[in-house]
A and B are shown apart, each in its own frame.
Chain A
């Protein structure tokens, strides 16, 4: 059987002992497991992030398969459960917590727990803004990596990562709205990768201290 050390060596090739420790000890909560959250989760698992909390009340639908990291066999299953199975195939040594309920102001302490980094990957604009406001106002010790503007087929050059303050990052083009434009998986995935990379940079202490 593959040992944890062998897998870690593969997933974290080229990283030093300190970086590996930071990644193994990190705890990221991903809120929303659609096109952003499912893809970001896969990248974080491939990086050997030690603790991932997966939150989504929704089940996989056929219409999700254009951009979300699910398969035909997953249709009808909770996204959190389907993704959990997938992540365990990438890194069985990670600790995964899954919640199949809607995140609310009330259950935030229980669902997010001690996750130091929150990946905002919700779909609805008002839900996104609400989560951002709660984290920024009430959990100033947590990092927030949010996304806005992922729809359409506009150039990848428009997709940016803006650091709003020391702990708040916003990925995407900030404009293209999914209620007006179709969703292209490659573009959504680009933003998910921006979120995952930003989270990796936070974990490794590479982001600006403003």
Chain B
């Protein structure tokens, strides 16, 4: 799959929430676009990511 513009080897389909955890992202600090569409936070656990997908994960750090 394509993750933030780079190839990422996804072994098998996985829920977005599980993938975020696997990649050490904190789900409450991200905004996620799957194939060009924003994924609602309430759908993180239901959405399944596959090797054909293009995923963009924006993670926020503090400071303003």
Contacts and interface: CB of A to CB of B under 8 A. Distances in A.
Of A123, A147, A164, the most chain B CB neighbours within 10 A belong to A164
B63 A188 contact: yes
A164 B63 contact: no
B40 interface: yes
B36 to A, nearest CB: 7
A147 B62 contact: no
Contacts, number: 82
A170 B58 contact: yes
A136 B63 contact: no
Interface residues of A, number: 37
A165 B36 contact: yes
B33 A165 contact: yes
Given A137-B40, A164-B58, A150 B63 contact: yes
Main secondary structure of the interface of A (DSSP, over half): mixed
A125 B31 contact: no
A121 interface: yes
A120 B28 CA distance: 16
Contacts of B41: 133
B28 A151 contact: no
Nearest to A192: B64
24 contacts: A32-B64, A36-B64, A123-B62, A124-B64, A125-B61, A126-B28, A126-B60, A128-B60, A128-B64, A129-B31, A129-B60, A132-B58, A136-B31, A146-B60, A148-B58, A148-B59, A148-B61, A149-B61, A149-B63, A150-B63, A151-B62, A170-B58, A177-B61, A178-B61
